[in-house]
């Protein structure tokens, strides 16, 4: 369990005082994958660095498993840090050491020796899928493989928490998905709490249970991922949600649909959560004796169910078409009639 109470962080520069993090309150449960999303400069890195005492808050407290990280120093803090692994955008590997020796490094520091160390390194190599790469140097690895080394090294001392600061931001989309799958797998297998910092909503959508949106040092919105996708409140959140759900082509698409499907009504449906889309749609069409034509869909999976939009054309007698729309709304599917 992680708890931040009224946390603020100021940086004093020669010219002025920057409040990088401002009055943040958070509770993160064991085993949760918690996301923090925000644009560059929002304060995400500063926030996450207070979780393991790399930065100290100017105000407030940071508690990880009943230990006040923000209050302890020296050897106590070093010991506490072994419970909190971290991975970075640019991997932070030791370039003159092999994959094996990079992963062995935190074990050396923790005083794990001999056969025990060998056993653990090999176990970690299997866990992150780097078999056969033990003797390679970081410069010989792909970005995804480098981050796998980073993850193995971060997990070496069996931490309870893994902090990820833009861990997939230097990777291409496919490699990003592979690394995210690995994090999900590790979360489930080890019941590891994972905190993910990112400027990409795709990352949040794919692996997080809850998300906090940061802007100018503050958490401006917080909730279950599916809930935030469904009802984003702040304009910054709406912009992030659009990253995933709507492409630039949406407006163009609607225009094209209106031109080409002038009969009946053009309707946009918003699906959230577990409702199975296909059976509902065909049932409603049958009940109301209308023709439903699926024109365009964009359904995406989150950790708590499906989320997405579907554009359909409803054809039939006007009263039946209207009854269909009423029925869809009764089923709590957000239904928007698109007018030309």
CB 237 within 8 A of CB 194: no
Nearest CA among 217, 152, 288 for reference residue 7: 217
Binds 18, which of ligand ADP, Mg ion, none (CB < 5 to 8 A, cut-off by type)?
Answer: ligand ADP
**Nearest to Mg ion by Cβ — which residue?**
45
Cβ atoms < 10 Å from Cβ of 77: 17
Residues 18-47 that bind Mg ion (CB under 5 A): 45
**Least Å distance between CB 9 and ligand ADP?**
8
Separation between Cα atoms, residue 52 and residue 70, nearest integer Å: 9
In the complex with ligand ADP, the residue whose CB is nearer, 214 or 292, is 214
In the complex with Mg ion, the residue whose CB is nearer, 21 or 321, is 21
Q: Count the site residues for ligand ADP by CB under 6 A.
A: 12
**Least Å distance between CB 169 and ligand ADP?**
11
What would the x/- binding string for ligand ADP be over residues 2 to 41, using CB under 6 A? ---------x-x----x-x-----------------x-xx
What is the chain's Cα-based Rg?
24
Binds 38, which of Mg ion, ligand ADP, none (CB < 5 to 8 A, cut-off by type)?
Answer: ligand ADP
CA–centroid distance for 259 within its chain: 38
Separation between Cα atoms, residue 176 and residue 143, nearest integer Å: 9
Separation between Cα atoms, residue 191 and residue 60, nearest integer Å: 28
Residues 45-84 that bind Mg ion (CB under 5 A): 45
Separation between Cα atoms, residue 179 and residue 61, nearest integer Å: 32
254, two tokens: 């609607």
Separation between Cα atoms, residue 284 and residue 229, nearest integer Å: 25
Residues 36-95 that bind ligand ADP (CB under 6 A): 38, 40-46
SS3 content of the chain, % helix, strand, coil (to 5): 40, 30, 30
Binds 253, which of Mg ion, ligand ADP, none (CB < 5 to 8 A, cut-off by type)?
Answer: none
Residues 170-199 that bind ligand ADP (CB under 6 A): none
26, two tokens: 């958070």
**Least Å distance between CB 53 and ligand ADP?**
15
**Least Å distance between CB 216 and ligand ADP?**
9
H helices within the chain, ranges in order? 44-51, 74-81, 99-109, 114-127, 143-155, 173-190, 201-207, 225-230, 235-245, 250-260, 277-288, 318-330
Asked if 291 is part of the footprint of ligand ADP (rule: CB under 6 A), the reply reads no
In the complex with ligand ADP, the residue whose CB is nearer, 11 or 119, is 11
**Least Å distance between CB 192 and Mg ion?**
22
Residues that bind ligand ADP (CB under 6 A): 11, 13, 18, 20, 38, 40-46
């Amino acid at each position: 369990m992680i708890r931040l109470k009224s946390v603020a962080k100021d940086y004093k520069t020669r010219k002025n005082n920057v409040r990088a993090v401002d009055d943040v309150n958070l509770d993160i449960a064991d085993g949760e994958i918690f996301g923090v999303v925000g644009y560059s400069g929002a304060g995400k890195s500063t926030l996450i660095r207070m979780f393991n005492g790399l930065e100290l808050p100017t105000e407030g407290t940071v508690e990880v498993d009943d230990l006040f990280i923000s209050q302890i120093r020296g050897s106590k803090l070093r010991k506490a840090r072994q419970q909190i692994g971290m991975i970075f955008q640019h991997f932070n590997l030791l370039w003159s050491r092999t994959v094996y020796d990079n992963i062995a490094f935190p074990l050396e520091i923790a005083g794990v020796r001999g056969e025990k160390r060998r056993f653990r390194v090999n176990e970690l190599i299997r866990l992150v899928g780097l078999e056969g790469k033990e003797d390679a140097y970081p410069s010989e690895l792909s970005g995804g493989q480098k981050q796998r080394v980073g993850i193995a090294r971060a997990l070496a001392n069996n931490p309870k928490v893994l902090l990820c600061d833009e861990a997939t931001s230097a990777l291409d989309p496919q490699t990003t998905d592979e690394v995210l799958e690995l994090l999900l797998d590790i979360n489930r297998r080890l019941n590891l709490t994972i905190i993910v910092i990112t400027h990409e909503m795709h990352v949040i959508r794919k692996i997080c249970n809850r998300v906090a949106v940061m802007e100018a040092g503050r958490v401006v919105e917080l909730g279950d991922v599916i809930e935030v996708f469904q009802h984003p409140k702040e304009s910054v959140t709406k912009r992030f949600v659009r990253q995933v759900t709507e492409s630039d082509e949406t407006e163009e698409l609607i225009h094209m649909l209106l031109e080409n499907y002038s009969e009946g009504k053009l309707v946009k449906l918003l699906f959230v959560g577990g409702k199975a889309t296909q059976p509902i749609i065909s049932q409603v069409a049958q009940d109301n004796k209308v023709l439903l034509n699926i024109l365009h869909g964009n359904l995406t999976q989150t950790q708590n169910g499906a989320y997405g939009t579907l554009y359909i054309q409803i054809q039939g007698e006007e009263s039946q078409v209207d009854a269909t729309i009423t029925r869809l709304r009764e089923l709590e599917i957000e239904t928007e009639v698109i007018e030309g």
